[in-house]
Structure 1
Amino acid sequence: MFVRELRLRDFRSWRDIDLTLRPEPTIFVGRNGFGKTNLLEAVYYLANLRSHRVSSDGPLVRSGSSAATVLGTVENTGRELTVQVQINAEGANKATVNGSPSRRARDVLGILRAVMFAPEDLLLVRGDPSDRRRFVDELVAQRGPRWAAARSDYDRVLRQRSALLKTAGAALRRGGSDADSVISTLDVWDGQLADLGGQVTAARIDVLRDLAPHVTASYASIAPHSRPATLAYRAAAGPEVTSPAEGTASAAGIAEILLARLGELRSKEIDRGVSLVGPHRDDIDIVLGDDVAKGFASHGESWSLALALRLGSVELVRAEGVEPVIMLDDVFAELDVQRRAQLVAFTESAEQLLITAAVPDDIPTSIAGRRVSVGVVEDNGGRHSVVLDDVQASEATGNVSASEATGSVSASEATGQTTAGEGTG
């Protein structure tokens, strides 16, 4: 699988760009803040319908614009699909496949499978539970739109139930018909939350069960002298919720557990005005030996675990019969020599590898491929990112010849247009 064409309009720092890509390594080189990562973020968005850096879509729309457009033509075993997503600053996003409108934007999930390695990956080990939930939910969503639909519906029900909990206390104190109405409405929301929560939790546990052996093997190859790494699902509803090691998760069985726990905690939830159990409160334990890695693993062990999670994700997708697009966002600068070598060896078989680097020397010499120089210009439309031609790249890097120093391609080769300044962004 690879992205043959990437077209952006008003996405982040890119006003307008058309990139032709090939099934090979492509390295985007430029100073920090010039827009390299935004290109990888756009590809990531097509695969996940979310950014890997921010939780909302608003920052993805270029300042002064009402919407951003991301288009990608994806080739997979001879089949070609063109996916376009319009990201609106306000209102629902829109998507098309081969020019035909999709009923919902999430219907395009699964067309592109991609795995991103980024410095933020350290948060998967050291960050909050929300970081780990997000990681697993993205793996679930890439399996197809119906999985994303369950999570979207769960979030909607959770918001509505939480709003009711915030007003329930006063209604119960008043008593009478108000209290009866609140109890009756909560019963309905409890049932919906438990049902959807069971589906979301079961899907997560199934993905973790499939992912865990790949992560264990990847970590063992990165840190052969360390203790084994394993994954475990920790549910706020209690240990009786099935873990990946205990077999296939039952959505209906988990829903029953959630419904019972919601009943037990109802008075406490009304007092606090929040929903205390459900997949929005769960966590994924990354375990090293017998200890949970967060707060215990060293910096080196944490990086090895983060890298193993991403390597395991690639192997998970490969096991499903797909070769994902692999993206490395300035990660070589964060890794030591051993981990760099491990990552290089692992990505050698990638059909398409997209890499960013602020310093060209950070890229191991064993990685061949095309290099594209990224810069910024200022005009009446403001400051925006551009692909530099050889002369511009030479001036930006201070080298005599950009083609000799960075191997950068010309703007016309990268974009298929005449010059970098003619609307390519």
Structure 2
Amino acid sequence: MSAPTAVRPLRIGPYVSDTPVVLAPMAGITNAGFRRLCREQGSGFYVCEMITSRGLVEKNPLTFRMIAMDPDENPRSMQLYGVDPAAMGQAVRMIVERDLADHIDMNFGCPVPKVTRRGGGAALPYKRRLFERIVRAAVENAGRLPVTVKMRIGIDDEHHTYLNAGRVAVDAGAAAVALHARTAAQRYSGTADWAAIARLRDALPAEVPVLGNGDIFSAADALAMVAATGCDGVVVGRGCLGRPWLFADLEAAFAGRPLPAPPTLGQVAATLRRHAVLLQEHMGPDKGIRDVRKHIAWYLKGFPVGPELRRRLGLVCSIDELDELLAQLDVHEPFPADADGPRGRQGSPGRVVLPERWLDDPDDPAVPFGAELEHSGG
């Protein structure tokens, strides 16, 4: 496997990564512990969980725990959600004044109902004037910090917004644009439409990076996306769940080197244990060990591990107990050939929940009543 010749290092503002890869923010996943685990594998941009502009401005304790960064993270990438230009501007000023991050990514791609019903996430770019004001408020208050935008194709097949939103974001000063090539109605189901990424790349100035997101489950998928779309890099989400070594594969693939050998079950177990330790360091012993439970099925996907051992691992309460259970695994078991492919949530397509009369006027710049989420993590 060799790297496509068109792929260059990814530049976002003053920050450059030789590997054109971004870890997508994932609620409950991309905390400081998981980001460190992934950063240890390969270079790229590693973005924290989404937080709300309101949560930041109001100094919500949960929000500040979610934006904890390791001292050696560089750049420190933070994703913000918001629907009010004033609140967004205030939040970005706080980030700058308190030196909380080096790069701000804006979420206009979240499809979950609690976000879209308030006009946020993937629903917001339909309101093109409001969208423009929010992006501009962030850019104008960011100073030297680069601001990037992540979005979806649109609300549904009747309401595509990505081409206009991409142009608006660039005109407002966005340093890069990422496209999850699904509509909000698709959620995480079906197949990503990579052709939309190619159309967005063609529609925007060549000097502005366009990043592709959707169905990157292996290094081969990443190279295929770049070759098919001409995008400047890839955004990896669900594909790295239980597979943080995917970032080592990606670094090798984009450099044109042979991929590392797939890990044995023993190596997977060692990575799982490392993940648990990092979560404990970040969250504390009790919460950290509880949090690792949700990752175990992803790590063990495809391996011949019996149901009783899986059940006990899913209830683990301490590192000592984790060590005892992992010692029962066959450390020489090779990585299963069928363990690649979709992982994490997929679900089914469905109607997008929107504020009342949301689709009546795309030029209405009004902020929806009660639109700002009270807490982060959506």
TM-score, structure 1 normalization = 0.30
Q: Which structure carries more helix by proportion?
A: 1
Larger Rg: 1
Q: Which structure carries more strand by proportion?
A: 1
TM-score, structure 2 normalization = 0.32
